[in-house]
Amino acid sequence: MEVRFRVHRYDPDVDVVPQYQIYTVPVEEGSTVLDCLNQIKWYQDGTLTYRRSCRSAICGSCGMLINGRNRLACNTRVIDLQAPEVSVSPLPGFPILRDLVVDWDPFFAKDAAMKPYLINDTTPPAKERRQSPDEYMQIDNATLCIQCGCCSSACPVVWNNGQYYGPAALTRAYRFIFDSRDTATEERLAITGSEEGTWRCHTIFNCTSDCPKGVLNTQNIQALKRKVLLRNLGFGGTKIAFELTPPRRERRADTSANARNADSAGHRTS
């Protein structure tokens, strides 16, 4: 069976705007989109540029927009797409370097801001810092993240606000804030509770639906919101200033003719 592939092409040294190129690729029952991209590069067009590594949905390198949805090319079977044509584009929301390759620097800078490593300054035990099964289950789902960027790329808030940390970075923060062995909760909550943190999330759920590993990104962010709110109210951490209601405004008398007319007619002005 042969399938048409419509592949995004862009060389910044040559092209003014991106374009799409059509390739016809022989496909077997188990062929993945990555298999087909390899066939194109190896046998049809060696200039095609994309990222790939493990081919096992572990490294997160091959996240792409495939037939309108963010997916991993390595575990997306062509036959499962059930389409006469397969469209492949770079992940939306990221600067394009070439063809299907995007600039990951801003993405990983946000991840680094969350301090994605265990912090515990207490004296370590002789063997290891243990967790109970229940303690581990709080972070089990979040540890599935492979940093593929599919979630952040699917988020409309990320598209419109490059400063927003995004679901990938916030899930990373969740993974350590809720880790019973970590002691840097306050430090990370100060970051996630900032202007470009959890409160930018509009609970659209794109990040959860497009995650190829089943990470519950939206739920993780909501858990962070609750944690930040409790911290701001002084529960479970240092209390900081938090205004529950807007300042009360003083009413001013309206001396306009309209106000006088309304008063004379028995209406209340405000």
Domain chopping of the chain, boundaries:
2-102, 105-232
232 vs 60, 144, 183, 226, 243, CA distance in Å? 35, 29, 18, 10, 9
> What is the CATH topology of the domain spanning 2-102?
Ubiquitin-like (UB roll) (3.10.20)
One fold for both 2-102 and 105-232? no
The CATH number that domain 105-232 falls under is 1.10.1060.10
Q: What is the dihedral of CA 24, 29, 35, 40, to 10 degrees?
A: -10
Pick the closest to residue 64 from 92, 27, 96 (CA basis). 92
Q: CB-based burial of residue 77 (10 Å sphere; 0-12 exposed, 13-18 middle, 19+ buried)?
A: middle
Residue 250: how many CB atoms within 10 A of its CB? Answer: 5
| The overall pTM is greater than 0.85 | no
Q: What is the dihedral of CA 124, 127, 132, 136, to 10 degrees?
A: 80
Specify the pLDDT at position 235.
72
Specify the pLDDT at position 231.
86
Q: Taking the mean position of all CA atoms in its chain, how far away is CA 144?
A: 14
Specify the pLDDT at position 236.
60
CA angle 136, 139, 142 (to 5 degrees): 145
Residue ranges of the chain with pLDDT lower than 70?
A: 236-270
User: Tell me: the pLDDT tens digits for 105-120?
Assistant: 999 999 999 999 999 9
246 CB contacts (<8 Å, ≥6 apart)? none
User: Tell me: the pLDDT tens digits for 160-187?
Assistant: 999 999 999 999 999 999 999 999 999 9
74 vs 38, 53, 58, CA distance in Å? 11, 9, 10
Tell me the sheet residues that pair with 86: 5
Specify the pLDDT at position 234.
79
3-class SS of residue 261: helix
53 CB contacts (<8 Å, ≥6 apart)? 59, 61, 62
